[in-house]
A and B are shown apart, each in its own frame.
Chain A
């Protein structure tokens, strides 16, 4: 039998169901490996002892009808977990222990999964390199100088380093797909309204969406199937009949029309990315799909629009972290002084930057020129997609304009950091599903990803397309376990 940690999520599930592996064996394997992988700084909070206890509980009374029977999973530290510290990688929440559980994580536990721990991320999910975390940056297992991407950087690093069989992240502007692309893994951002936002520390409410991060497409379908549910505790949750994504997964994409948007061929994009994209088209044709050139004319406005809408919502969402009710507090001479000292010390630079941008764009006198205008442009971007989806079934783009960059390389240049999200951000603005799959390596040997964008609630379709391409791409990355402590 192959090593437990080398099994995909689906393989691990069937091994547990067939009683070849116990939950305890699986959990112990991941705990052991996680303990040896502290160099990656992937975990904010370890729940190893509780996990092992729960694994034993499962083994003593196993329920093999569950979709994730006794499967250990580490999750992004943005999901509130009952009695387990939840920090959003911020100092301002560094002592916060929720008494409640997010709907998405509850869905995992309901299907038999077990929490391994909480994974590092950018502070309040604001960042593209996991360098803004109060608990320090995360290192990519791909190479010791590399960022894993962000904001779900801890999740991507832990997944790629096999510290968890699968994980979940959140994606506001690319925070699942970009780190997946950087680490050679599969990241899916579902349609807005598919996964409940209840119990997820909010960054930008109209964009945030939780999604699966997995080693392959099949696992992605399985995990999405468990995560997605209608939730009346989230007013933006959508009540639709959710397919059995993993059961209905198919490689038959014959006749599917795939759009190639010319606006995504951005200036300065490397030849490697060009080639990756071309290869993608070829694979799709090989699968019987039809390639169609399309135009999404408002694409170039997506990034500026995003950097108005997201900070605006964030500036308001983060107002609750004021030192009054929970979390970190600095004593002050009076209420205002306490607010100022608490928030000055409690938030990091990137969070402060976005709160300031957000406050500015909502201010009277600037609201119309920024926020209102951005909302109008957002509508145009949405329309671009809905017009295009009259003609095509899905859209293929690169996931990112480059492979992973070096730690510190962009941390003093916020705009160049923001540019990293150029291909992922429009999808969030339009509320559509998008999946990034590993599609090749650049000349440095770093992973590159392709993104498939689908119609609203058409996850099954993009999963099927990804599933077909995955076969043709046959992505391999030889992970050298340089970070391991013996």
Chain B
């Protein structure tokens, strides 16, 4: 498929190859190998067990719920679930790594190859998933509280992470944006990760390489560690790709290395080279037996899988006749799709889709709210849409009512009554009103009749104005056409 994200140097075009290692925190009450809570924002070192702090003689015991969550996510990624996987120790020293090793999965991950479908403006694209494995998070080193010492908070130590490794199938910052959002969407539908990037529940290592357009061998890649927002990922990719192209253009060679993205300077800088790379001395953790489960177990979990965004999108298109674009917007966030489905229980689908993606999104955007915090409930929006549909109010009046509803989730039926906003649809009343308009504008009538048909709009406008905007425009049209013959 065509790729329009290319880096241009005097007509020489470079393609950017991106692969992501996403670290998604498993949504779970307790940690991967201990019973400590995982709640975000606790006082430092208040959610730490003897296991998390690696006291002598303490042993890890797998949290079955986290295993289930990983399997669910694997199913959501259309991936192969491995009935046998192995936990390994990744050995390195750091102050916030109490065991001196991280328990991870190296050669035998719990989930194998899968795929994710991206909806791009140019069409849909499938991105390969290499694997998903479970691992422990480390603690947090805090360098900026005490001038002389580094402080360590172990609340996060031992929290379960899913590392989701993509194939190098992404080609632009925009695709990365869509990919991350899709992953997040799938995991939120599944309830396996809350996807909250501000709280660090979703972070990624970004692998970037470049090659001349048309070449099929990959260039040397650099890995940008631990980027925690989509915007930063995009900035980092853009910077890194350009840096690599500059080197190649000057006849240089890319060194395979790990880099850090400096969000303040908007640049990546080296962290360690391949030669300095850690030797992690992976080996199977002898404290844990290989993780084995039956096909029946996986099948029983499959039964718990809810409708996922892709399926929901197809259903919306087929059942409600929505456009792929509309359907995509409505399903990408689980809560939005829930809101939509709640509205359309009693209301017209097309109008509901328009009002949610139009007025409601604008309102939420303006107030910086999530749909779950919407000032207008699905129930009341549904009532408003029904008022439009049955002709009680016009679309224009509906916008005014919508604004009033936002102040305390007011019932639109009451508002229309209270404020007398009901549409004037009685033909006799309207006829009187129109006769008045015609009488007062005899000169315009003459002009109209002599062929200036554009003036029709003028008469409609006048009629609406006289009615205070409440006249039913359709009926006004019909009456005017008759009267002006």
Q: Which residue of B lies closest to A338 (CB)?
A: B95
Give me 21 A-to-B residue pairs in the complex whose CB atoms sit less than 8 angstroms apart, sorted by A's number. Answer: A86-B56, A199-B58, A201-B56, A201-B57, A205-B286, A232-B61, A234-B59, A234-B61, A235-B59, A235-B61, A235-B287, A235-B289, A316-B89, A316-B281, A316-B283, A319-B91, A322-B93, A322-B100, A324-B98, A335-B94, A362-B283
Also in contact, A319 and B286, with CB within 8 A (given A80-B57, A201-B57, A233-B61): no
Contact A312 B283 (CB under 8 A): yes
Contact A205 B287 (CB under 8 A): yes
Contact A88 B61 (CB under 8 A): no
13 other A-B residue contacts (CB within 8 Å) besides A316-B101, A324-B95:
A96-B56, A233-B59, A233-B61, A315-B91, A316-B283, A319-B101, A320-B100, A324-B98, A359-B281, A362-B91, A362-B281, A363-B279, A364-B281
Chain B residues positioned under 8 Å from A232 (CB to CB)? 61
Size category, B interface = 20 to 34
Task: Tell me the bound Cα distance from A293 to B282 in angstroms.
Answer: 41
Chain A residues positioned under 8 Å from B59 (CB to CB)? 197-198, 233-235
Contact B55 A100 (CB under 8 A): yes
Q: Give, as a whole number of angstroms, the nearest-CB distance from B469 to chain A.
A: 71
Task: Tell me the bound Cα distance from A212 to B50 in angstroms.
Answer: 27
Which of A235, A313, A324, A367 contacts B152, CB < 8 Å? A324
Contact A102 B57 (CB under 8 A): yes
Interface residues of A in 97-112 (CB under 8 A from B): 98-100, 102
Contact B93 A339 (CB under 8 A): yes
Chain A residues positioned under 8 Å from B94 (CB to CB)? 335
Q: Give, as a whole number of angstroms, the nearest-CB distance from A344 to chain B.
A: 14
Chain B residues positioned under 8 Å from A313 (CB to CB)? 286
Interface residues of B in 46-86 (CB under 8 A from A): 50, 53-62
Task: Tell me the bound Cα distance from A100 to B49 in angstroms.
Answer: 12
Interface residues of A in 176-204 (CB under 8 A from B): 197-202, 204
Also in contact, A206 and B286, with CB within 8 A (given A96-B56, A100-B50, A339-B93): yes
Contact B53 A363 (CB under 8 A): no
Q: B142 in the interface, Cβ–Cβ < 8 Å?
A: no
Q: A443 in the interface, Cβ–Cβ < 8 Å?
A: no
Contact A316 B91 (CB under 8 A): yes
Also in contact, A98 and B56, with CB within 8 A (given A204-B286, A235-B289, A371-B283): yes
Task: Tell me the bound Cα distance from A293 to B286 in angstroms.
Answer: 34
Contact B279 A364 (CB under 8 A): yes
Q: Which residue of B lies closest to A78 (CB)?
A: B57
Task: Tell me the bound Cα distance from A202 to B93 in angstroms.
Answer: 18
Which interface residue of A102, A205, A315, A325 has the most chain B CB atoms within 10 A? Answer: A325
Task: Tell me the bound Cα distance from A367 to B56 in angstroms.
Answer: 26
Q: Which residue of B lies closest to A371 (CB)?
A: B283
Q: B248 in the interface, Cβ–Cβ < 8 Å?
A: no
Q: Give, as a whole number of angstroms, the nearest-CB distance from A78 to chain B.
A: 8
Which of B95, B98, B100, B287 contacts A335, CB < 8 Å? B95
Q: Give, as a whole number of angstroms, the nearest-CB distance from A334 to chain B.
A: 9
Q: B150 in the interface, Cβ–Cβ < 8 Å?
A: yes
Contact B289 A325 (CB under 8 A): no
Nearest 5 pairs of A and B residues by beta carbon: A319-B100, A205-B286, A362-B281, A206-B286, A320-B54
Task: Tell me the bound Cα distance from A204 to B287 in angstroms.
Answer: 10
Which of A93, A205, A236, A315 contacts B56, CB < 8 Å? A93
Q: A326 in the interface, Cβ–Cβ < 8 Å?
A: yes
Contact B60 A363 (CB under 8 A): no
Q: B288 in the interface, Cβ–Cβ < 8 Å?
A: yes
Q: Give, as a whole number of angstroms, the nearest-CB distance from A310 to chain B.
A: 10
Q: Give, as a whole number of angstroms, the nearest-CB distance from B49 to chain A.
A: 10
Q: Give, as a whole number of angstroms, the nearest-CB distance from B295 to chain A.
A: 23
Q: B209 in the interface, Cβ–Cβ < 8 Å?
A: no
Interface residues of A in 247-281 (CB under 8 A from B): none
The 8 A CB mask of A322-336 against B (1 = contact, 0 = none) is 101110000000011
Task: Tell me the bound Cα distance from A359 to B93 in angstroms.
Answer: 13
Chain A residues positioned under 8 Å from B288 (CB to CB)? 235-236
Chain A residues positioned under 8 Å from B91 (CB to CB)? 315-316, 319, 362
Chain A residues positioned under 8 Å from B281 (CB to CB)? 315-316, 359, 362-364, 367
Q: Give, as a whole number of angstroms, the nearest-CB distance from B55 to chain A.
A: 7
The 8 A CB mask of A302-320 against B (1 = contact, 0 = none) is 0000000000110110111
The 8 A CB mask of A64-94 against B (1 = contact, 0 = none) is 0000000000000001100000101000010
Q: B347 in the interface, Cβ–Cβ < 8 Å?
A: no
Chain A residues positioned under 8 Å from B60 (CB to CB)? 235
Q: Give, as a whole number of angstroms, the nearest-CB distance from B6 to chain A.
A: 37
Contact B289 A236 (CB under 8 A): yes
Q: Give, as a whole number of angstroms, the nearest-CB distance from A200 to chain B.
A: 5
Which of B53, B55, B93, B287 contacts A236, CB < 8 Å? B287
The 8 A CB mask of B282-303 against A (1 = contact, 0 = none) is 1100111100000000000000
Q: Give, as a whole number of angstroms, the nearest-CB distance from A393 to chain B.
A: 28
